[in-house]
A and B are shown apart, each in its own frame.
Chain A
């Protein structure tokens, strides 16, 4: 897999503390950090990522376009049930659905680049505005879930990695796997049953004070955190086998000191990468389900409401915003990864 094509290899002394697993073929930037830490190749690579991201969003939206236009009668789908044939024809003419497909696609592209997704049928405002207004509420929910995951599940992963195979390790592994295996809508319902209905500590659903956010955030944290605990454990175990840890142990440093000073720094990058990827995935995936369960007035609930209201422009804008979020978060993660760790290639 890692065959060096250019024949260049990494100079051992440049490797830094990890030393154990060099990736031949990927040559560390020769320019000293003091003289501009972003070289031309990196700039070109970042530009490439941006173009790629734009292309990905464009392809997602084109897929939606094709699917919606390939079905027999989009106008009938958008109008309320029982609309007359004249109304359907009128909407077809107004939306330009009578035109040939390539003309429609041209119109679609020009709308796309002007970020014009039409007006929400329900609210009468531009669809994109409707979607963007809902984002902060979702970000608050996912942010809280992320904080819970980092504060609770990452330390659990570290503890599990200290003694692989021990009872603690097995419990943590079981907990994270169970969290990943439970459907969010069921987990949420069970938390409501215990903590809202039986104990009455939290409200069952809705939004308002921070209390309303606790149960949905905990529900979401089981997925994000479950993955984080697993990645943390693997990542720390990876480092535990490295020669530099053996060396540090031989020097007599305490476990805590080694973890904090050596292992954490090397293990952090994969953990952060997975955390940000999963956050992007959660916003456009599990958060949708959680928001429906807890009546959380965010982005995810909007798309389900729009399906029920047959509000097509908003559905389209939701898919667009979701694709942009994933691409932006992934690109930022990739770029940061590359800047922090020049040895890593994409």
Chain B
């Protein structure tokens, strides 16, 4: 990449601690850190697998076969079969669709809404800020799982309700990080310069605030994606999420739990799918967080340096 390509981004670097490291350097570090690279490749693989499950012939995921119940892993059934004789591998693949769909949908809905709220709170400040942050604070005191149990119980569980409920309880995190960043960038020189040069508020938000927020938003989206997948699987496990005959990883474990002692593979493999996906998303998310914010760096000197830079800036 040339200097020209990164020139518009260099403007935002005026606020240390907010956006001090470029995308290019981040990508370089992804390449250097093989574990994170692996995690990213794995996530891509999972998405490809979920998409492939639409075209692959996976009838064995749905049709029960009584004569093939609880077969242990073999060549014809690589991950064995479950209590109804359905292929565990095929069901895990089909289950990835709903788990990923819920994860992505909630992150997008909560992320967009949270970003809008965060920008309003951080940029306009005053009463807007007070009201929005109070709502955020109150919502953070919600017993989320209990509340979701009560709500889903009344609406009867389906994917739409699941996505809506999870979005309602997770937008606050986005609002918070966006607000903090926007407040830091708002008072910086280049934003004030843009203001005095006559840029409209919308234009400032569009061209200066959102680019500054993007990396932190991406990080948060990754971590939240991991959290949502876990939440969806827990709710499905409790019987309040995805309903049979659909397949989701959490539901598969709930259905197979009675066979745990005789057929470990029916519980182990769907769980492994959850752990690896969540772990990969968490790894990528926390790696991004460290790389974009040197205050989170492991090297104490880098952290101390970032801290002093930050103090000096204000």
**For the complex, what is the distance from the CA of A289 to the CA of B267, rounded to whole Å?**
16
Q: Is B126 an interface residue (CB 8 A)?
A: no
A192: chain B residues within 8 A (beta carbon): 260
Shortest CB-to-CB span from A239 to chain B, Å, is 9
Shortest CB-to-CB span from B176 to chain A, Å, is 13
Taking a contact as CB atoms under 8 Å apart, the answer to whether B238 and A74 are in contact is: no
Residues 298-342 of A at the B interface (beta carbon under 8 Å) = 303-304, 307, 315-316, 318-319, 322-323, 325-327, 330
Taking a contact as CB atoms under 8 Å apart, the answer to whether B303 and A177 are in contact is: no
Instruction: Using known A-B contacts A56-B138, A197-B261, determine if residue A190 contacts B150 with beta carbons closer than 8 Å.
Output: no
Count of interface residues, chain A, beta-carbon cutoff 8 Å: 61
Please give me the residue from chain B that is nearest to A178 by CB atom: B279
Q: Is B205 an interface residue (CB 8 A)?
A: no
Instruction: Using known A-B contacts A67-B154, A71-B155, A322-B143, determine if residue A186 contacts B149 with beta carbons closer than 8 Å.
Output: no
Q: Is A237 an interface residue (CB 8 A)?
A: yes
Q: Is A344 an interface residue (CB 8 A)?
A: no
Shortest CB-to-CB span from A303 to chain B, Å, is 6
Shortest CB-to-CB span from B150 to chain A, Å, is 5
Taking a contact as CB atoms under 8 Å apart, the answer to whether A185 and B237 are in contact is: yes
**For the complex, what is the distance from the CA of A71 to the CA of B262, rounded to whole Å?**
43
User: Could you say which of B110-118, B214-222, B270-278 contacts chain A?
Assistant: B270-278
Taking a contact as CB atoms under 8 Å apart, the answer to whether A3 and B314 are in contact is: yes
Instruction: Using known A-B contacts A1-B180, A178-B275, A304-B238, determine if residue A59 contacts B143 with beta carbons closer than 8 Å.
Output: no
Contact of B149 among A234, A315, A327 (CB under 8 A): A315
A55: chain B residues within 8 A (beta carbon): 138
Taking a contact as CB atoms under 8 Å apart, the answer to whether A183 and B151 are in contact is: no
Instruction: Using known A-B contacts A193-B264, A241-B304, determine if residue A183 contacts B138 with beta carbons closer than 8 Å.
Output: no
B-side interface mostly: helix
A169: chain B residues within 8 A (beta carbon): 298
Q: Is B31 an interface residue (CB 8 A)?
A: no
Q: Is B183 an interface residue (CB 8 A)?
A: yes
Q: Is B81 an interface residue (CB 8 A)?
A: no
B279: chain A residues within 8 A (beta carbon): 177-178, 181
**For the complex, what is the distance from the CA of A127 to the CA of B5, rounded to whole Å?**
64
Residues 271-314 of B at the A interface (beta carbon under 8 Å) = 271, 274-275, 278-279, 282-283, 286, 296, 298-301, 303-304, 307, 311, 314
Q: Is B88 an interface residue (CB 8 A)?
A: no
Query: What's the A-B contact tally at a CB cutoff of 8 Å?
Result: 160
Taking a contact as CB atoms under 8 Å apart, the answer to whether B282 and A60 are in contact is: no
Q: For A289, A293, A304, which residue has the most chain B Cβ atoms within 10 angstroms? A: A289
Instruction: Using known A-B contacts A182-B275, A193-B264, determine if residue A164 contacts B144 with beta carbons closer than 8 Å.
Output: no
Instruction: Using known A-B contacts A178-B275, A289-B234, determine if residue A186 contacts B267 with beta carbons closer than 8 Å.
Output: yes
Please give me the residue from chain A that is nearest to B230 by CB atom: A183
Taking a contact as CB atoms under 8 Å apart, the answer to whether B237 and A180 are in contact is: no
Shortest CB-to-CB span from A323 to chain B, Å, is 5
Taking a contact as CB atoms under 8 Å apart, the answer to whether B141 and A60 are in contact is: yes
Q: Is B106 an interface residue (CB 8 A)?
A: no
Q: For B151, B184, B296, B301, which residue has the most chain A Cβ atoms within 10 angstroms? A: B151
Residues 163-182 of A at the B interface (beta carbon under 8 Å) = 164-165, 169, 177-178, 180-182
**For the complex, what is the distance from the CA of A323 to the CA of B257, rounded to whole Å?**
31
**For the complex, what is the distance from the CA of A326 to the CA of B143, rounded to whole Å?**
7
Q: Is B209 an interface residue (CB 8 A)?
A: no
Taking a contact as CB atoms under 8 Å apart, the answer to whether A318 and B282 are in contact is: no
B145: chain A residues within 8 A (beta carbon): 284-285, 288
Taking a contact as CB atoms under 8 Å apart, the answer to whether B141 and A326 are in contact is: yes
Q: Is B250 an interface residue (CB 8 A)?
A: yes
Q: Is A77 an interface residue (CB 8 A)?
A: yes
Taking a contact as CB atoms under 8 Å apart, the answer to whether A181 and B271 are in contact is: no
Taking a contact as CB atoms under 8 Å apart, the answer to whether B238 and A289 are in contact is: yes
**For the complex, what is the distance from the CA of A190 to the CA of B275, rounded to whole Å?**
12
Q: Is B1 an interface residue (CB 8 A)?
A: no
Residues 79-117 of B at the A interface (beta carbon under 8 Å) = none
Instruction: Using known A-B contacts A60-B141, A186-B274, determine if residue A319 contacts B146 with beta carbons closer than 8 Å.
Output: yes
Taking a contact as CB atoms under 8 Å apart, the answer to whether A181 and B234 are in contact is: no
Taking a contact as CB atoms under 8 Å apart, the answer to whether B271 and A190 are in contact is: yes
Taking a contact as CB atoms under 8 Å apart, the answer to whether B230 and A64 are in contact is: no
B71: chain A residues within 8 A (beta carbon): none
Please give me the residue from chain B that is nearest to A60 by CB atom: B142
Q: Is B178 an interface residue (CB 8 A)?
A: no
Please give me the residue from chain A that is nearest to B281 by CB atom: A181
27 interchain pairs (CB within 8 A)? A1-B183, A1-B314, A56-B137, A56-B141, A60-B147, A64-B150, A64-B151, A67-B151, A67-B154, A67-B155, A71-B154, A181-B275, A185-B234, A186-B253, A189-B260, A190-B271, A193-B260, A197-B261, A241-B300, A241-B307, A284-B146, A288-B238, A289-B237, A307-B153, A322-B146, A323-B141, A326-B141
Not counting A1-B314, A180-B282, a sample of 15 additional A-B residue pairs whose C-beta atoms are within 8 angstroms of each other reads A60-B143, A64-B150, A64-B151, A182-B275, A184-B234, A185-B234, A186-B271, A189-B253, A288-B146, A288-B149, A303-B146, A304-B238, A307-B239, A319-B147, A322-B146
Nearest 8 pairs of A and B residues by beta carbon: A322-B143, A186-B271, A241-B300, A284-B143, A164-B298, A181-B279, A181-B278, A241-B304
Binding site for B on A (CB under 8 A): 1-3, 20-21, 52-53, 55-57, 59-60, 63-64, 67-68, 71, 74, 77, 164-165, 169, 177-178, 180-186, 189-190, 192-193, 197, 234, 237-238, 240-242, 284-285, 288-289, 292-293, 303-304, 307, 315-316, 318-319, 322-323, 325-327, 330
